[in-house]
Structure 1
Amino acid sequence: MSLTLVGTVLIAEDSPSELELMSHYLQESGYNVIKSSGAKEALEKALSQKPDVIITDVVMPGMSGFELCRALKKNSLTQKIPIVICSSKNLEIDRLWAMKQGADVYMTKPYTREQLLRAIKSVVF
């Protein structure tokens, strides 16, 4: 019998359909999912619930995914949590900037379920 490690993933995504799709993929694969519809809410949930991974969109109202990365990396409680950025921005400069802000993986939309799971596995296990 194989033992699968179940992790908790916090998703920061302002598009309800995108949030649902991502949650569905992850829950189907055995992950616990914490949903937030923006970066500020995600920051609060990251501090209180300490997820294993955070997936964030870049363009969101109020606070961007890049700002979320910076805030998480500055805080001693959250600085070790891996961050996966999932954005429709697919320029090399966006990717480089994301890494500079503390992101561990940069994925572009649209993505497949496999790409999403691979990105998470690459930073967690």
Structure 2
Amino acid sequence: MPVKKVLVVDDSPTERHALSEILRRAGYEVNTCDSGEEAVAQSKVLLPDLILMDVVMPGLNGFQATRVIARDDATKHIPVIICTTKSQETDKIWGLRQGARDYIVKPIDANDLLDKIARLDG
């Protein structure tokens, strides 16, 4: 299923804006939210084709939100790419175990991100 609608989840307004700009310029429809709790709720309402998930957020962190989304029957089909400053291999392994489809370390390289999204379209 081609990716058209993307939900960007990040508690940093700067990061949300930067990711949104990359995606909009590439032709994607973008929605944003600033918390794990909101991501879980919005994923059920918007049913995006992809979620870009930050990890370090107050309240429900990105790993926890990814796990909830990946295990809910209504949202488990939505791929999640974790976008975070957490660059340790153990963080990546943990993120993928929570149900993320891919993992990208900030600062985000636009071409790398768009390549990862294109590979999801398979």
**TM-score interval for Structure 1 and Structure 2 normalised by the shorter chain:** over 0.9
Moved over 6 A (4+): none
Question: Using the alignment, how far apart are the partners of 1:91 and 1:65 within structure 2?
Answer: 15
**Which structure has the larger Rg?**
1
Question: Using the alignment, how far apart are the partners of 2:23 and 2:74 within structure 1?
Answer: 24
> Is 1:33 aligned with 2:51?
no
1:17-43 CA distance string (max 9 Å, x none): 010000000001100001001111111
Partner of 1:107: 104
Identical-pair percentage = 36
Give the secondary-structure state (helix, strand or coil) at the position aligned to 2:86: coil
Partner of 2:52: 55
Partner of 1:8: 5
Aligned residues: 121
1:46-82 CA distance string (max 9 Å, x none): 0011000000000101111100111001110100111
Partner of 1:74: 71
Question: Using the alignment, how far apart are the partners of 2:44 and 2:87 within structure 1?
Answer: 29
Give the secondary-structure state (helix, strand or coil) at the position aligned to 1:99: helix
TM-score normalized by the length of structure 2: 0.95
> How far 1:124 sits from its partner (Å)?
3.1
Partner of 1:95: 92
CA RMSD in angstroms comes to 1.1
Structure 1 segments unaligned to the other structure (5+ residues): none
| Structure 2 letter corresponding to 1:21 | A
Equivalent residues of 2:52, 2:80 under 8 A apart: yes
Structure 2 segments unaligned to the other structure (5+ residues): none
